[in-house]
Amino acid sequence: MTSSLDIVLQSSANIVVVGCAAVDITAQEFPNTDPVLAKHSTAPGHVKFSLGGVARNVAEATHRILESKSSKLSSILLAPVGKDPFGQTLLRELGSLGMRTDGLLEFEDETSAVCNIVLESDGTLVGGVADMGINQRMTADAVGLIIS
pTM: 0.82
- Is the four-CA dihedral 59, 23, 94, 19 of positive or negative sign? positive
pLDDT digits (tens, 9 = 90+) for 104-120: 999 999 999 999 999 98
Q: What is the CATH number of the domain that holds 68?
A: 3.40.1190.20
Which residues on neighbouring strands pair with residue 113, listed in sequence order?
22
Taking the CA atoms of the chain, what radius of gyration do you get in angstroms? 18
**CB atoms inside a 10 Å sphere around CB 3:** 8
Structural domain includes residue 4: no
Asked, for residue 58, whether it belongs to a domain, the answer is yes
pLDDT tens string 37-78: 667 778 889 999 999 999 999 999 999 999 888 778 889 999
Averaged pLDDT for residues 71-91? 93
Closest CA to 73 of 97, 100, 92: 100
Tally of CB atoms within 10 A around 13: 20
pLDDT of 144 above 70: no
Q: Would 87 be classed as within a structural domain?
A: yes
Domain range enclosing 47: 14-141
Tally of CB atoms within 10 A around 103 = 23
Please list the residues that pair with 29 across neighbouring strands: 45
Is 36 inside any structural domain? yes
Residue at 120 is within a domain: yes
Structural domain count of the chain: 1
Is 86 inside a domain boundary?
yes
Pick from 93, 14, 85, 107: nearest CA to 52: 93
